Amino acid sequence: MGAVYRAADLRLEGRVCALKEIRPDPDLLPEALSQAQRQFHREASVLARLDHPNLPKVSDYFTAGEREYLVMDFVAGRDLRQVLEEERRDGRALSEARVLQWAEQLCDALAYLHSQDPPILHRDIKPANVKESPGGLVKLVDFGLVKLLATDDARTITVLQGRGTIAYTPLEQYGGDTGHTGVRSDIYALGATLYHLLTGQPPADAKQRFLQPSSLISPRVLNPHISLSTERAILAAIAMHPDDRPATVEELRQMCRDTSLSNAFATIIPPHSEWQHALRANRALFFLVGGLLLLATLLTIFL
């Protein structure tokens, strides 16, 4: 779809910015290309009015040749994919507390976007599109796939629209312009992002899960240290059908904060991986108990 450049602002000396270049579809007819350009200008002007601490500020937009450009704040720091990879290389996992702090900030950003009139969807939330500053502030970057939700559900061509990244994309988003996406589509992507950060791997993608429902591994199987409440929130966020997901980002936030499922309960019902470990460690005892139960059953039947 395009590229992002680190650029120097020649008018404001010393300012570094990010320049998002959007390339048009080469197969578009002239009329369609003109419509796409008008749509880009409309959406870019909306993005330029956004002002939130967890979003980069869009300061300008322009056309050069047949390509469109967005000028945004350059966000220094590492993206969360890089943070995760560095932790794994050092043999560590990201702590749940740290990931939930990021989740709080991302919920703030999405709640702000979704509250616009019309609501704005990001549609490509993933660890690589979230950057952490040295002070711990995170910003949701790359507005390359933003879509405005028109109240009349009008189907318009948009150069900013796309299908997202497969592991974080809900099934309804694969339809492109014909797919019915909403705020719950962003909630799915956020849930998939939290899954990846806490388990070290992205969840099975929506198409694979549609064909093979058992392909999704529960987060606590991959990381037994995840709390039951966080696992429940993530699984709700990445439910296949939009109606089964939290209706709003605020509802997902409250699920992440919910501590009613205590860790004491987690020791009573451990994750699947812990059952496997217990079975391996006590295999002989389980066989003995199973044999005694079978013998008792046979004696009951024949005596």
Instruction: Let me know: does 146 contact 162? Beta carbons within 8 Å.
Output: no
Q: Classify strands 67-73 and 16-22 as parallel, antiparallel or unpaired.
A: antiparallel
Query: Catalytic site residues?
Result: 124
Greatest alpha-carbon pair distance for the chain in Å reads: 97
Tokens of 77: 């720091």
